[in-house]
Amino acid sequence: MAKIKLTKLPFSETPEQAKALDAKLEELKSVPGGLMPALQNAQDIYGYLPIEVQKRIAEKLNVSLEEVFGVATFYAQFTLSPRGAYQVAVCLGTACYVKGAGDIINALKTKLGIESGECTEDGRFSLIETRCIGCCGLAPVMTINSNVYGKLTTDQLDGILREYM
């Protein structure tokens, strides 16, 4: 069973976020199969699916919290932890892994002070392990948001991360 990462950051929402979610849930409460679009909309609004939001979805759609949590943890598109402004993703596909992606991810965990699936306390970085992103000729590969960094070594990481500080 996969380990589920939960945030250490406190949940906060704006009145605008609450209003947007409540409006969407009202719209979906009588729609068969409305749970999936509710979760997708909630993640669009908040950037992730905190337990407080999952509870509200369960209540408004009249489904169990277990069902909401089950769907949220089954599909890779959903995250239970906030994502940083800069999403650092390291490819662990075969070509990247063979060329040293394991060392890259371990170095990033140390440098950022977080594990994979977590967000730094300042909300700046999140660390994600991915599978093949189709840049095998550049292995090992890391992306930060839409920027691709290939043929990486651990020595390059400090300079790359500095660009986002």
pLDDT band at residue 2 under the 50/70/90 scheme: very low
Q: What is the pLDDT of residues 121-146, one digit of tens each?
A: 888 999 999 989 899 999 999 999 99
Q: Is the pLDDT of residue 10 over 90?
A: no
Using left for φ > 0, alpha for ψ between -120 and 50, and beta otherwise, residue 89 falls in beta
Residue 3 CA to its chain's centroid (Å): 14
Q: What is the pLDDT of residues 14-56, one digit of tens each?
A: 999 999 999 999 999 999 999 999 999 999 999 899 999 999 9
Q: What is the pLDDT of residues 56-89, one digit of tens each?
A: 999 999 999 999 999 999 987 888 888 888 999 9
Handedness of CA 149, 151, 153, 156 (dihedral sign): negative
